Amino acid sequence: MCAIGAALLLYNLLRIRSARRALASTELAQRFVLAQRRSHLLRGTTFLVLTPMLLVFVWINVLMLGDASGELIVTLAVISAGLAGAMIWWSRALRRVRRWHV
């Protein structure tokens, strides 16, 4: 968990540094916008592809246990519903990102 947190912190620090550099010139700003667009498309597409696969894998494993408690199934259903909502949001966001003009 610490490694994931450190990676996210480093990633965001690099994005902030790039954004500050992009303010210096229009060429850097255009390159920054293109990089942001690619980043959003990659992260969004990865989320939209991997989330359903992960959910199916988890549901299959939980249901194959046979002795899954009701609380576990309700918790998993709530998480699944939240992820479904996030997937709807990301799919709409990706449509907007694909229409960005640089």
Mean pLDDT of 89-100: 84
Res. 102: pLDDT tops 70: no
- Tens of pLDDT, residue by residue over 8-38, are 899 888 888 888 888 888 888 888 888 888 8
State residue 101's pLDDT score: 61
Reported as a single tens digit per residue, the pLDDT across 47-64 is 888 888 988 888 888 888
Domain boundary assignment for the chain: 31-98
Highest mean pLDDT among 23-27, 82-86, 95-99: 82-86
Whole-model pTM: value is 0.63
- In three-state form (DSSP H/G/I as H, E/B as E, the rest C), the secondary structure along the chain is CHHHHHHHHHHHHHHHHHHHHHCCCHHHHHHHHHHHHHHHHHHHHHHHHHHHHHHHHHHHHHHHHCCCCHHHHHHHHHHHHHHHHHHHHHHHHHHHHHCCCC
Looking at residue 22, its pLDDT comes to 83
Residue 1 CB-density burial (10 A; 0-12 exposed, 13-18 middle, 19+ buried): exposed
